[in-house]
Structure 1
Amino acid sequence: MTIEHSAGDPEAAYMGAPALDIELPWLQRFTRTPGFEASREFLLRKAAFLDRLTLQQTESHGSEATGPLVRTAETAAFGLVEHDTEHHGLSPKGADLAAGEDYRAYVREAYRAWSLAQNH
């Protein structure tokens, strides 16, 4: 998978996504399930949630105030990249995924693809 520049656009990627206050309880409920194992859907939705929260907070409070949240979003995004590398043949080098922002753009593209697939 290669990153499409338009897919890195958060507005396009998260169009139709549930509100953050709806998504958070889903994530929390999922982790409390006995035998919890992080599935791709969980990793994707967690990374997308953190990306969206980071975007919202950065817009409200500026990038200097949200540095730790940015790093948390990048770490979650990297978790999805690692999963997809191991299970789906993603090559981060081939996809030009080299930095945290690249991982977050990957999450946006993956979320958009997943979201569109859910509606079919």
Structure 2
Amino acid sequence: MFEIRIICESADREAVVSGLQSRFDIGRVRSSFSRTSGGERLYITADLPAADVWPTPEDAYALAPSIVREIGWTAQAAAERPFGTAATREFWLRKAAVLDRIALADEREDAPGDAAEAATEAARRLIDLDRAGVIRNPRHYTRQQYVRWTKHQ
């Protein structure tokens, strides 16, 4: 375990914490005002993630809302995003997760379709956004990141 101290502008706080969540297993974020920049000082305890530990789909999506609800959230987030702006990390994570869940359902029912390919492509977009490097199974990465994200919601 180690502690990270970051001084940033208040407007950048969410992006900084989100970036750290994508790379480390982080604990509670403590903050105070920075005496020098007028921004914030963030103190975060963190651990390096276990590289080979991938959660099972059941563990990853145990607290997930229904697939229908997640599809609705994803569609609404896409519709509300101003034209020409990049989607947020949360959007790509939730989209990849809901597509993964649909693909898992198809696989359980032995129903061929494009869901697995769509889930893998959305997971790759998340990996690219996180600059996570090469991941052999992108859908496993989605599940790992979804577990981390739900812990902080």
TM range (shorter): 0.7 to 0.9
Describe the shift of the 1:72–1:17 C-alpha distance in structure 2 as closer, same or farther (beyond 3 A). Answer: same
Secondary structure of the equivalent of 2:80? coil
Across the aligned residues of Structure 1 and Structure 2, the Cα RMSD in angstroms comes to 1.6
Question: How many residues are paired up?
Answer: 103
- Where in structure 1 are there 5+ consecutive unaligned residues? none
TM-score (norm 2): 0.62
Pick the structure with greater CA Rg.
Answer: 2
> Residue 23 of structure 1 corresponds to which residue in structure 2?
70
Secondary structure of the equivalent of 2:109? helix
- The 1-side partners of 2:81 and 2:58 are apart by 35
Q: Which amino acid aligns with 2:90?
A: E
Correspondence 1:112 to 2:147: yes
1:40-64, CA deviations, whole angstroms, 9 ceiling, x for partnerless residues?
Answer: 00000000000001001111134xx
Flag the structure with more relative contact order, 1 or 2, with Cα contacts below 8 A and sequence separation at least 6: 1
Q: Which amino acid aligns with 1:10?
A: P
TM-score (norm 1): 0.78
Q: Report if the CA contact (8 A) 1:54-1:73 is conserved.
A: yes
Shift of the alpha carbon at 1:21? 0.8
Once the two structures are aligned, what percentage of the paired residues are identical? 31
Secondary structure of the equivalent of 1:73? helix
- Where in structure 2 are there 5+ consecutive unaligned residues? 1-22, 24-49
